[in-house]
Amino acid sequence: MSLLHIHDPLAAPRPIGIDLGTTNSLVAYVPLLGEATTLLDCDNDPLLPSVVCYRADGATVVGKEAKRLAQDFPQDTIVSVKRFMGRGADDPETKRLGPYRFATSDGPVVKFAVAGDRVVNPIEVSAEILRALKQKAEDELGELGGAVITVPAYFDDAQRQATKDAGRLAGLEVLRLLNEPTAAALAYGLGTKQNGTFAVYDLGGGTFDVTILVLDEGVFQVRSTGGDSQLGGDDMDRALAERFVRAMGFSQGAELPAGHVRIALDAARAVKHALTEQDVVDAEIEVPGSQPLLQRVTRDELDVLIKPLVERTGVACRRALRDAGLSAKDLDGVILVGGSTRVPLVRRYVAELFGREPLTSIDPDQVVAIGAAIQADLLAGQGKNDAVLLLDVLPLSLGIEAMGGVVEKILPRNTAIPASAAQVFTTYADNQTGFVLHVVQGEREMAEACRSLARFTLKGIPPMPAGMARLSVRFDVDADGILKVSAQEETTGIKQEVEVKPSYGLGDAEIERMLLDAYDHADNDVSLRALRQEQVEAERIILATVSAVASDAALLAAGEREAIDAALQALKQAAQGKDHRRIHDLIDQLDRICKPFAGRRMDRSIARALSGRSLHDVERETSHARGIEPHLRPGAES
Amino acid sequence: MSLTQHMSLTQSLGRKSENPSDHLPVAPANAVDENAGVRLTKKAIEMAKQALVKRATPEAALRLGVRGGGCSGVSYAIEFSDKVRERDNLYDFDGLKVVVDPKSLVYLRGAVLDYEVKLMQHGFRFLNPNEKSGCGCGESFTV
């Protein structure tokens, strides 16, 4: 039973904090008087299951009702959509994550085909959850003054952008994205200290995360993160449910009716919850078509069942500490987040692991939302304590791919955001009139090992000798950790406006259009661009190969010409088609076949260079001989 | 499925200095027929006055009403009101001004507004004889 509060029609719009969770989502706010609090539903429950069900009649159901429908309509009910956020359709992880019908599209975004002939993507599904929370908040608070949405500390740019897009699609003014562990620390008021080191242990329904957070001069920094994306309270339920299923008379590995599994899981969850407060629970489980099953479960028995699961969290915790270069005794506090941290064994284990009692006074389900509400309140300028200026850091380095596929880091990881930095690059080849910029994220040295965020081309540079052009590449990361890249050629003053967005995220203009026609154009644009890039690449490599074969036929080994011709023919045909992946594969194939031939040509070029030719000519010739694209190289002054 | 509790850990959490009489309805000073208007409990009057003082508008009124919407039928609304409209019913509870518009009064006739302090939360609550079924959250009801 939620109680009523006096609404002030003259009050300023109220900012809210949202914990957009994998299993459950919550919304909280800071009242004019009193502490931050979560908003409850009709059943006095702050948790809104992060489940969206699309009905055949076109209706969309969110929350508990959707969770019930999930059993009967598993393919039309999207659960744990957060796992799909910012993930590419070709990501091998994607298809393992659920029983869904993935819509075929050659765009990079995952899409679900659901009832009512609808196709939705993870941003739209998340937006439905956010919309339900927004409605709940508006009912209670009236006009809303923006929202802070929390994201896991390990979320990359694409995932953050996707979350922000979902917020905007739901009609929320997203004040900022906030790291979940940082939110938990804020809820405990740790932001008012100046310095400290904290571990945030977050064991939810289906995921485990641990974060080492350092508060340095009032600024929170994520020092390290770790976890297990497939470990949580649901696994504990399954462990206990297995025992019930066996007690129902089903042997291990037997084919089970889905209804029995559901009953056993529900019973397991209820017993687990009861064992938080009690030492022994007697459960009477209704079994369809037979006698009710009586089961007595003691807490010790539960502990034995779940111990292996709990111990798995220890591995990630120790690794996170090691990554942060810390040991448990360096910590100033341990914060528990997530409903599963109510389990007494988990609390004992955490206390033992870190050698101190964890902070538990705030409901672990609500602590992140409460922290987000406090942050929203601060950002909206209503906070009682506006001394806390909260910053986060970049979780991974951001850079661009330079000549030879190496990464030039422009913003190193752990840079406090918002941040910006610029670096100057120059041309590699004479008369190079364009740059291909490849923006990547990660710590590896080679671009191919990093996460590709964006690719774009800067064109229209007048022909000039190699090394003369000066291309200034500028990275700006805003307070939400979202990246903008701009490029400008300095010597000529050519200023080209270039729009860059994370690979799976979307720009402002597209958000607008998305609101009108549900994304389809944006996807086409992206796939079209991928196709064009491959077609251009194919054209270039075909020309280079044909001219190399024509001029240096003498260097071809026996049978080599036939192989090259066959590969050329296949590539030419594919380049007329629309499958950019196939074109790409065939370019690779041609490249492989030509490699020995290109090597011989290069050897000869070098021999020629030794007989008194200019280095420039050699360089140009060798690069053409290998059919590679003149790329970027860092300027000497950068 | 049912659970039998072997050990009950719920202790009665002693409410400090709660006086039961704080939760009895008080009639307004400008007395009307008991069943015709709205009544507040002592506690509700005290808390509303406090809220008005904290808002720095002790002279403003508390507006009680119902609105369409909510989980079932109509929902309660409690607001600060800086002006009293022409057809509002105005009550005086020990110096606290309470206004109810005529349309809302149809639903609130005989209702009592109480203020409850519970373990997890505190706030106002209507005890309304007109309520046929509530939605469970105390915010909306059908008549």
ipTM of predicted assembly, 2 dp: 0.73
Q: Do residues A15 and A175 touch, judged by C-beta distance below 8 A?
A: yes
Residues B137, A6: C-beta atoms closer than 8 Å: no
A415-454 pLDDT, tens per residue?
767 778 888 887 766 677 777 888 887 666 667 766 777 7
| Residues of B in Cβ contact (< 8 Å) with A3 | 116, 118, 121-125, 138
With a cut of 70, which residues of chain A have pLDDT below it?
Answer: 1-2, 11-12, 33, 89-98, 105-108, 252-254, 381-396, 403-406, 413-414, 416, 428-430, 442-446, 449-450, 466, 479-481, 495-530, 532-533, 609-638
Which amino acid is present at A65? E
Residues A30, A71 within the same domain: yes
pLDDT at A625: 39
Burial of A576 per CB tally in 10 Å (0-12, 13-18, 19+): exposed
Peptide bond into A418 cis (omega under 30): yes
Of A7, A263, A282, the CB nearest to B3: A282
Residues A271, A407 within the same domain: no
Residues A23, A41 within the same domain: yes
Residues A141, A259 within the same domain: no
Of A7, A10, A43, the CB nearest to B77: A7
The shortest C-alpha distance from A341 to chain B (Å) reads: 19
Residues A130, A3 within the same domain: yes
pLDDT at A128: 95
Residues A132, A56 within the same domain: yes
From A327, A350, A384, the end of a domain falls on A384
Nearest CA in chain A to B80: A8
Residues A531, A401 within the same domain: no
| The token pair that represents A185 in the structure block | 């620390």
Residues B1, A44: C-beta atoms closer than 8 Å: no
pLDDT at A209: 94
Could you confirm whether A332 is annotated as catalytic?
A: no
Q: Do residues B50 and B95 touch, judged by C-beta distance below 8 A?
A: no
Q: Rounded to an integer, what distance in angstroms lies between the CA atom of residue A524 and that of residue A45?
A: 42
Ordered DSSP codes for A365-433: TTHHHHHHHHHHHHHTT--S-TT----EE-SS-EEEE-GGGBEEEEE-TT-EESEEEEEEEEESSTT--
Range of the structural domain that residue A25 is part of: 1-188+366-384
| The token pair that represents B38 in the structure block | 């709205």
For residue A548, the domain's CATH number is 1.20.1270.10
The shortest C-alpha distance from B142 to chain A (Å) reads: 14
| Residues of A in Cβ contact (< 8 Å) with B75 | 139
For residue A146, the domain's CATH number is 3.30.420.40
Q: Rounded to an integer, what distance in angstroms lies between the CA atom of residue A251 and that of residue A65?
A: 33
Nearest CA in chain B to A45: B137
Residues B70, A139: C-beta atoms closer than 8 Å: yes
Domain ranges of chain B: 21-142
In a domain, A202, yes or no: no
pLDDT at A388: 42
Residues A501, A577 within the same domain: no
Q: How many domains does chain A have?
A: 4
Query: Which residues are paired to B92 by β-bridges?
Result: B97
Could you confirm whether A180 is annotated as catalytic?
A: yes
Domain B21-142 sits in CATH at 2.60.300.12
Residues A78, A148 within the same domain: yes
For residue A434, the domain's CATH number is 2.60.34.10
Helices (H) and strands (E) in chain A, counts: 14, 28
Residues A283, B2: C-beta atoms closer than 8 Å: yes
Report the b/e string of A279-307 with b at 16+ CB within 10 A. Answer: ebbebebebeeeeebebebebeebbebbe
Residues A6, B5: C-beta atoms closer than 8 Å: no
Measured CB to CB, residues of chain A less than 8 Å from chain B are: 1-10, 32-33, 37, 40-44, 139, 263, 266-267, 270-271, 274, 277-286
| The token pair that represents A65 in the structure block | 């009702």
pLDDT at B10: 31
Tens-binned pLDDT, residue by residue, of chain B (143 aa): 555 444 333 333 334 456 778 888 887 777 666 557 889 999 999 999 988 888 888 889 999 988 765 445 577 889 898 888 777 888 999 899 999 888 788 888 888 999 988 765 678 989 888 776 655 555 556 55
For residue A294, the domain's CATH number is 3.90.640.10
From A505, A536, A553, the end of a domain falls on A505
Mutate to test the interface with B, among A6, A237, A244, A366 (most CBs of B within 10 A): A6
Query: Which residues are paired to A211 by β-bridges?
Result: A200, A225
Q: How many CA atoms lie within 13 A of A404 on its CB side?
A: 5
Which amino acid is present at A70? A
Residues A277, B9: C-beta atoms closer than 8 Å: yes
Could you confirm whether A156 is annotated as catalytic?
A: no
The shortest C-alpha distance from B6 to chain A (Å) reads: 6
In a domain, A217, yes or no: no
Reported as type and span, the H/E element at residue A177 is strand A174-179
Q: Rounded to an integer, what distance in angstroms lies between the CA atom of residue A541 and that of residue A573?
A: 14
